[in-house]
Amino acid sequence: MIISLSFCDGGIGRNRTNDTRIFSPLLYQLSYDAIRLGVQSYKKKMKQPNFYKYFCIFAKLFMTNLTIDIGNTLTKFAVFENDEMLIFQSVESLEAKHILEILKQFSLDGYIVSSVAKTPDFLHELLKDVRCIKFNYQTPIPIVNKYETPETLGLDRLALAVAAAKHAPQTDVLVISAGTCITYDFITSKNEYIGGAISPGLRMRARAMHEFTERLPLVDLPTEIGYCGVNSISAIQSGILKGVQDEIEAKITFFKKKNLAGRIFLTGGDQKYLVNSIKSRTFAVSNMVLIGLNEILQHNIRKS
């Protein structure tokens, strides 16, 4: 059973008016948007050192951040205000126009990039006036990384672990991400990332069968298929989809044997091919890497 979740605002429906009551009656009379616009304006214009010092403490409560995930096939980016995702976009290739459009709409406090490839040169030039959190295995994160070779751990997997720990605190978690590769990552109730597994993704399996054989065609993937293919194309499709589904169910069974109260998240661009066929209770979450990146960025800004 799959349960779809949205964690754009921390997974909880917020009453913005009620949220302001913790500050003062004056702020309560202001709308949330007015406060945000005031913060953005002061960040640009305020020059008085003493007042600026105290205002910066307040401004950290209203951080506007850009997170970028450059993957093997797509680049995804989002702008967050604290934990709320304001905009999201997925493109085949990140271009300068995408960043310029964001800068027209928002005054950013910081940005962070996770990339499996070289980061475009224009990115840091366009964002030179915005604080950059350089994300690598040495970047401070709000969980403990117990991977034996942290320098080899994919930053996207690390970001997934951070997002999982944020939204299921003090809980054992398995995160399954279906992308170019399928990754399985385990986070303990003690906020410790302990590792996982990597296997070929759906499209990688399809390409492998086509490229390493003489006659098998390259097939498209349906969202649903039976266990018994009635021709070569449906046989390949069934072998890929049902094979991955069985693999995922086996990982979940292994996880549940040791973590009865654990939580399981399913994410990644290819989750749509799996979401309706996995029998185990699983929470489907979109853009989990971006959510984790935002949490890492906020963690570092607040520590400064």
DSSP string, 52-77: HHHHHHHHGGG-EEEEEEE-SS-EEE
pLDDT for position 28: 37
pLDDT digits (tens, 9 = 90+) for 195-227: 999 999 999 999 999 999 999 999 999 988 889
Alpha-carbon torsion (40, 42, 46, 51), positive or negative: negative
Report if residue 229 sits inside a domain.
Answer: yes
pLDDT for position 63: 86
Report if residue 246 sits inside a domain.
Answer: yes
pLDDT for position 26: 43
pLDDT for position 21: 33
Q: Sheet containing 110-115: which strands, arranged edge to edge?
A: 84-91, 75-81, 64-70, 110-115, 131-133
pLDDT for position 275: 86
Over the chain, what is the mean pLDDT? 84
pLDDT for position 9: 43
Catalytic residue among 83, 156, 172, 185: 156
Structural domains in the chain (count): 1
Report if residue 162 sits inside a domain.
Answer: yes
Per the model's pLDDT, the better-predicted residue between 35 and 73 turns out to be 73
Percent of the chain scored above 90 by pLDDT? Answer: 66
Report if residue 213 sits inside a domain.
Answer: yes
66 is written with which tokens?
């850009």
pLDDT range class, residue 90, cuts 50, 70, 90: very high
pLDDT digits (tens, 9 = 90+) for 4-52: 555 544 433 333 333 333 344 344 344 445 555 555 555 555 545 555 4
Range(s) of the domain holding residue 257:
144-290
Report if residue 42 sits inside a domain.
Answer: no
Closest CA to 72 of 161, 201, 160: 201
Report if residue 114 sits inside a domain.
Answer: no
pLDDT for position 2: 59
83 is catalytic: no
Report if residue 230 sits inside a domain.
Answer: yes
pLDDT digits (tens, 9 = 90+) for 225-282: 889 999 999 999 999 999 999 999 999 999 999 887 799 999 998 999 998 888 888 8
pLDDT for position 37: 55
Report if residue 10 sits inside a domain.
Answer: no
- Do 32 and 82 contact (CB within 8 A), yes or no? no
pTM, entire model: 0.80
State the CATH number of the domain containing residue 281. Answer: 3.30.420.40
